[in-house]
């Protein structure tokens, strides 16, 4: 099976499992797990942020961030295809009583100008605009990367208007290896950052929320209330430490293989367009006469898995468990598919 549904499908490597098994653990609800503490220190200092909180999922770190940075009835500015709006089960509404203000934008990215124009007037008819959420890399935008200059302008717009800024950085490391920016550049620009260890980094479980001491203290309260405080989670945190030490640079391979997948798909007679491939996500658009379910079925018959991504769209994601020999097999198989 060649599984390209997501970069979340990877299994821990033998080295990672060994490292997990040897972790020193304690009860993290008491703050006693040395491995969780080590991970939180490691990731927060990498980004030059004061503190971090290890959580079970990226949805939870985003949801906690939105709760911590807002009050009920506030409005959150985000792209209409953002994960926090589209793929978190309506959580911002049910968990924190927030309204999203949905913006359009090139491959999932919004601009400082749009942010300024989206701020509601100070009038009781309107929700209070208090938070902006960016996503980098942008999943629905095909793994697109934000221009750092634009993020800086958005930060300025936020400061000028008293807004907070959260980064859904589930795949931020994909952007970092591609741009060679220092993580601390991002740490300086956001109030909170969410990082997933279970995507391209290849750990089995967990995400970290990064922020100031004060915001993370509040985040710890919210995590407890959301049921996300764990006990001997050091075994899981160890996998994340191992991933940070061994799986960052290799993401370049994922990006190269994604480029190759894009080129292979582009050559197929029934593919209308492949979105630009910036990182590890490839989105292909089929000819109008063909459905995404037809293509996915044909792939599945030959043991290749991908996911539907909207009308006529199919998404492929490269990862730790996909290599050059899988690519060769992929190429052979897709070239044999005929509509």
Residue 107 binding ligand PLP, by CB under 6 A: no
CA dist., res. 279 & res. 318, Å (int): 9
Residue 7 binding ligand PLP, by CB under 6 A: no
Residue span binding ligand PLP (CB under 6 A) among the ranges 58-66, 239-247, 275-283, 330-338: 58-66
Among 33, 74, 75, 135, binds ligand PLP (CB under 6 A): 135
Shortest CB 289 distance to ligand PLP, Å: 31
Shortest CB 62 distance to ligand PLP, Å: 6
Strands 307-308 and 207-211: unpaired
Find the residue with minimal CB distance to ligand PLP: 58
Residue 168 binding ligand PLP, by CB under 6 A: yes
Shortest CB 11 distance to ligand PLP, Å: 16
Residue with tokens 């800086």: 152
CA dist., res. 285 & res. 315, Å (int): 9
Residue 170 binding ligand PLP, by CB under 6 A: yes
CA dist., res. 78 & res. 203, Å (int): 28
Please give the structure tokens belonging to residue 249: 């640079």
Residue 57 binding ligand PLP, by CB under 6 A: yes
Order the strands of the 128-135 sheet from edge to edge: 51-55, 207-211, 192-196, 164-169, 128-135, 74-79, 99-103
Residue 139 binding ligand PLP, by CB under 6 A: yes
Residue 292 binding ligand PLP, by CB under 6 A: no
Q: For residue 38, what are the CA distances in angstroms to 92, 105, 134?
A: 30, 38, 27
Residue 59 binding ligand PLP, by CB under 6 A: yes
Of the candidates 280, 251, 285, the one whose C-alpha atom is nearest the C-alpha of residue 265 is 285
Q: Which is nearer to ligand PLP, 143 or 187 (CB)?
A: 143
CA dist., res. 142 & res. 138, Å (int): 6
Among 79, 83, 155, 242, binds ligand PLP (CB under 6 A): 83
Residue 254 binding ligand PLP, by CB under 6 A: no
- Residues forming contacts to ligand PLP in the complex (CB under 6 A) are 57-59, 62, 83, 135, 139, 168, 170, 196, 198-199, 207
């Amino acid at each position: 099976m060649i599984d390209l549904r997501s970069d979340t499908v990877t299994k821990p490597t033998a080295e990672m499992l060994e490292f997990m098994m040897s972790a020193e653990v304690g009860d993290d609800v008491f703050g006693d797990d040395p491995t969780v503490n080590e991970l939180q220190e490691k990731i927060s200092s990498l980004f030059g942020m004061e503190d971090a909180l290890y959580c079970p999922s990226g949805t939870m770190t985003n949801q906690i961030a939105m709760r911590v940075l807002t009050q009920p009835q506030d409005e959150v500015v985000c792209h209409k295809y953002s994960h926090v709006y589209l793929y978190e089960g309506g959580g911002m509404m049910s968990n924190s009583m927030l309204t999203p203000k949905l913006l359009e934008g090139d491959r999932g990215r919004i601009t400082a100008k749009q942010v300024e124009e989206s701020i509601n007037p100070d009038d009781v008819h309107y929700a209070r605009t208090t938070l902006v959420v960016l996503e980098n890399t942008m999943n629905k935008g095909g793994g697109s990367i934000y221009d750092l200059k634009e993020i800086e302008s958005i930060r300025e717009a936020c400061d000028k208007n008293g807004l907070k800024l959260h980064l859904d950085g589930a795949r931020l490391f994909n952007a970092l290896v591609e741009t060679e920016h220092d993580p601390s550049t991002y740490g300086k620009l956001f109030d909170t950052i969410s990082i997933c260890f279970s995507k391209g980094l290849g750990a089995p479980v967990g995400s970290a929320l990064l922020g100031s001491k004060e915001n993370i203290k509040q985040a710890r309260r919210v995590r407890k209330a959301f049921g996300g405080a764990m006990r001997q989670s050091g075994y899981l945190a160890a996998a994340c430490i191992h991933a940070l030490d061994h799986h960052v640079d290799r993401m370049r391979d994922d990006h190269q293989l994604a480029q190759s997948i894009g080129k292979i798909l582009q050559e197929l007679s029934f593919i209308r367009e492949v979105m630009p491939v910036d990182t590890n996500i490839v989105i292909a658009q089929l000819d109008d006469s063909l459905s995404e379910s037809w293509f996915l079925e044909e792939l599945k018959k030959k043991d290749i898995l991908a996911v539907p991504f909207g009308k006529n769209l199919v998404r492929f994601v490269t990862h730790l468990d996909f290599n050059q020999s899988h690519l060769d097999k992929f190429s052979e198989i897709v070239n044999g598919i005929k509509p």
